[in-house]
Structure 1
Amino acid sequence: MKIILVQKKRLKSHYIMIHPIWVISFFFLLIVFFVTAISLVSLYLIAERKNMVTDDVVKGWIKSLDQQRREIDDIKNETDSYLDSLAVKLGNLESRTSDLDRLGALLIIKAGLRDNDLDCYVNSGNKLENYYSDNTCFSIKERIDQLFLKVKDREQQCVLLDKLLNQSRHYKEVLIAGMPVEKGWISSPYGRRIDPFTGKVSWHNGIDFAGKSGTNILAVAGGLITWVGYRNSYGLLVEINHGNGRITRYAHNQSVTVKVGDVVMKKQCIAQMGSSGRATGDHLHFEVWVNGEVVNPMQYLLQ
């Protein structure tokens, strides 16, 4: 490509040779520049449009915030209501634990214990009551924790009291004492006596109680029936194991109301008086055995 330049004054001409590749490159670069410029402007306008905050967007934000505020208020109201109901329930529980304290004190008296036998039971309650009297110092969670400890302590002490009372009742129940017949009288003592069959002096292992046929025979203590049936000269015999090596025997019965394996209570009817076995008439032969040796029943009958 040739470009001719002409000067007016001197009327001289000059020419410049431009290669076609240069022209093409120039126009190509020009086109690239314009395309790039247009792209950048377009991207800028799009970004600005995205960042624009319209009235509709603001209204949407306000509406969303109002909804969230209402939800928060509802949650707060529900929480306040729950906490109020929880505080009422805590008050009721605290009142019941106070009732439990009073009941425990009565049980201690009935058990025949001294006040200082269960110091932990009494003192811990006093300390916790001081805590509860100042509601402003403790949150509901702390009150629940304190109440849990108090109830746990009371449970342990009630278990202890129950064991003590059961032991006391059990001791009285299995204590051999009282008359083994509903009605009757002593006809033959324990020890040496004249044998009614031989007329000679012999040893008598028990005490005989005379009475009417069919008179109720009573257990002198609670225990387990270990023998019911005929045994040699005893006739129809009932044997009771009272534990701790103590056994009582009831012989010459007419009939029985228990069987082996039964658990009987003190003063429970176990048989009816008769004359079975080696007997001269209706009576009860009563024996007491301690650790495998027969003992005088009179010491127990007088208790």
Structure 2
Amino acid sequence: MTLTLITHTRAGAKRLQLGRAGQACAALFGLGVIAGAGFGGYELAVKLHPNGVVSERTVESWQQELDAQRRAVDTTRSESEQQINALAARVARLQAHIARLDAVGERVTELVGLEGKEFEFTAEPAMGGPEGEPLANAPGASPLEFIDQLDAMNSQLETRGRQLAVLESLLLDKHMGTEKLISGHPVNSGYISSYFGYRSDPFHGNTTWHKGIDFVAPEGTDVMATAAGVVVFAGVKDGYGNVVEVGHGDGLVTRYGHNSKLVVKVGELVRKGQVIAKVGSTGRSTAPHVHYEVLRDGLFLNPAKYLGDKS
């Protein structure tokens, strides 16, 4: 084995020839240096961390940092969920307004007599254009600014809805004419069993106020609208059972209760004499009949003054 020694003297490098005994000593010396260095490092680590390589205080500090990060993540998640719920509520309100506008728009289109598919409210409108900026880069991309924009859109939709309702009323006046006038009976057969006003209640016999007129007819008999208008309610109401309400403008509404079946839906335009339901005995009823009411701005009127003409 040859060792080369490099010195800073003029003699330069020197070479030493080691025999087998010298090589063994050199190897043992190298191992001793490595072992000494390792033992010294271990002693230093023990002095710095007497309870181990990582002290309990260090572990505790790390745990506290992890707990703080978990709390921050939970807080961020909760705030995000609240913002998402707020956005969902705004979107639901917009969807409801859009549905109402669609219904009114279809009726106005029908009244105006537009042909083809100039205004097809049940189909998505055609849209296009170059690809826009990602949402993150767009102005108003923060959730709060987005909610403000949704609120502004909701206000605009409400305004447009009121305008369409006025237009619809004007068109109904123009196209319906005398059909908007309430007259006649809601059924073509049968008889009146109870009039508007005070009566003896059929269930407990006490004197009560009857808000409409009852027309007895066989179950399944056609129930007809007594004037043209728009269906404003079609469903179940307490006491009335299956009921249909038709709005006729100027705050006038006719109501038809206890039906066995409804054949119209909310938003539908109905003509005078059109079948809207079938006679039944649903709700608070003793036998098949139609409970018929007339209201103006929520106040009950005596339907008798509208019964003169069955046609």
- TM score, norm. by length of structure 1: 0.44
Q: Which has the higher helix share?
A: 1
Structure number with bigger Rg: 1
